[in-house]
Structure 1
Amino acid sequence: MDETNLTMDDFKTELEHSLKRLTEGDLVKGTVIGISDTEVTVDLSYSSEGIIKLEELSNDPRFSIKADVTIGEEITAMILSEDKEGNLLLSKKKADDILSWDKLKTMMTERTVTTVKVSNAVNGGVVTYLEGIRAFIPASMLSLSYVEDVSTFVGKVLKVIVITADKEANKLVLSAKEVLREEEAKEKSHKISQVQKGIVTTGIVDKLMPFGAFVSIGEGLSGLVHISQICGKRIKSPAEVLKEGQEVKVKVLDVKDGKISLSIKAVSDAEEVHEDAVDIPAEYSTGEQVTTGLGDLLKNFKF
């Protein structure tokens, strides 16, 4: 602070800070004013400065004092003792052990998405660090698909959420799978919202059910052809006229609540298809046929 611009209130605040008694175990906040290869110097607005030795800065084995600490950064640390020069020896690690769990529990409750870098592979998963706390990501929570070799994730940066934060048990568990699942659902919902009612496209019969057939129409999307929309005649089972793996032409009847309703029967009348496809953007129609692949329909949209 520039002493030439100090007011009486500023002097009073500085005096109070300098006279306050700090004892071992107290948590203090300070501003980084010096960084060396072995320690960080912190201004505590106190009669003496704080020193955080390298070994007291972080639990993360990937921590770099030069890369991960910056001048002017605010740090919260615990007072350990006083050295011969009167400086306070501090520990950021011990402060993190106290403060980080509260933050981690809040992150778990709010399902906060954050990024971590995988440190190493262990039995059944990988280890990383979040808020200075060692965290475990089970193999089953690394990806949407089965992970055979967890070592391939070492060094990767993952988006994760906290799924377990138990301070008493010193247990912090993260999940990348939950984030990927939510992103996939969001992307799928967006794709579905771009599907136009009335379009005719090709699809593959994915699964037959007593009430109809699920047809894959590409781009990871599928819709239901109700048994009443399979053909013009009354049938007791979709298997009477369809088989899994069969390619069919389907018309989008409706898109509602994230579900796509399809019809095979409606495609048979060409005039009907033209009339119902008036909402299709101009670039989708060739003037001859109002059928196309879903990939072509969606290629102009950004996801």
Structure 2
Amino acid sequence: MSDPTADPRVQSLINQLRPGAVRTVRVAGFDGADVLVQLVDVEGEKAEIARIPRQEASMRRMEHPSELFEVGQEINAEEIGRWREGQLHLSARACEIQALRSFLLAFEGGQVVAGTVSEVHNFGVFVHVDGEPDGSCTGFIRVPDLTWGWINHPSEAVEAGQRITAEVIIAETRTGQVTLSLKALQDDPLIRFADQVGRVLTGPIIKIVPFGVFVQLAPDVVGFLHLSELADESVETPGKLVDEGELITVEVTEVDLQRHRVRLSAAGGADRT
């Protein structure tokens, strides 16, 4: 399995998205589209003033939070951090649907879950996770987490109505979603390919970009050949030299397992057939 938290930048982001402590607050007023609230201590006394940003007020559509809240109303909200010279910010939407919150809090990173693909879009895939509250669609799979292989659209990996098994990356109470990964339950093909450094291989060009080309080297393994390996600096784009689908002979110069990339160099003057 892969470890999506291996990158410290990813871990930092996940830590920011983890559910925070729940506080009881009373609505004190509005500052533009934000909701100002007073924290209530265990004895029911009013304490510091905190803020609920507009986007954290509710999952429901609204023109202004005053449509949903009134001064003096007592609500629960989740701590999300301190900004504006230390002012506490909260999320009311994270506590809005208790059944949904309870469902999401039961997940842990690395847990394996099952579900049914609901919708497939160019930006990712929505999934009905087994056991989710009625009316919810809690699962989401980003495009990079669908497969190790090269795809042009998520529909090449899954389809609506398909049953899947996936690994939990993180459950977010503020968005009402659990981010999933299909790829995490698949073997990394680069592990088997790592011993190919120095080998000369021939494969089709599957994509051309302004600074180089991507070459299919093996099932689910794609390498990158920089423009400078194809021609001298006078050529501005590889599209003037090669076509998609064309076979090209390259040398594998690096297999980076951490960044999951393969670097190539031209072999025999970038022979093409």
TM-score (ref. length: structure 2): 0.41
Which structure is higher in helix share? Answer: 1
Which structure is higher in strand share? Answer: 2
TM-score (ref. length: structure 1): 0.38
